[in-house]
Amino acid sequence: MKICVFCSANQQIDPDFFTTTEELGRWAAENGHTLVYGGVNQGLMETIGKAAKEAGGRTIGIVPMIVEKSGRTSDYVDIEIPCDNLSDRKQLMMDQSDVFIALPGGLGTLDEIFTVVASATIGYHQKEVVLYNMKGYWNPLIALLADLQAKGMIRGDWRQYIKTADSIEEIKTLI
């Protein structure tokens, strides 16, 4: 399976996120899954790529040319797919992946999550997003989604498209 991971490229975040991200990267590689990710050499992105690679896995980095030009491409990318911009990047990630796991992240991660989910809701694909809720990171987003659902702003049930997992064990059962 090709697992796309959305996550932070920041270093100054909770150290526990790095440990849990390493665990996920190792698990994916040890189980024969290919990692698709942003391919940046910083933050959780570098951590997931390194962990997967060091555990014998294969990595595909979808790297914007502006990132490449600035020298921020990870050394742990096996296959680099360059892209012009973030819209291209998200489309390439969707095309390359079977499932998506969102780790802690910021605006870029939120953009990626909702691009994939919105595409699924109108029928472009049937791929799921899993929010890896490390230390309750996604609790505010989960509450927002529940509130939007209660207000009738989401057709159907948002859980059709977005799953939540509090541990790697839960991720294993979901995907």
For residue 71, give Cα distances in angstroms to 50, 53, 64, 66.
17, 20, 11, 9
Digits of tens for pLDDT over the chain (175 positions)? 999 999 999 999 999 999 999 999 999 999 999 999 999 999 999 999 999 999 999 999 999 998 888 788 899 999 999 999 999 999 999 999 999 999 999 999 999 999 999 999 999 999 999 999 999 999 999 999 999 999 999 988 999 999 999 999 999 999 8
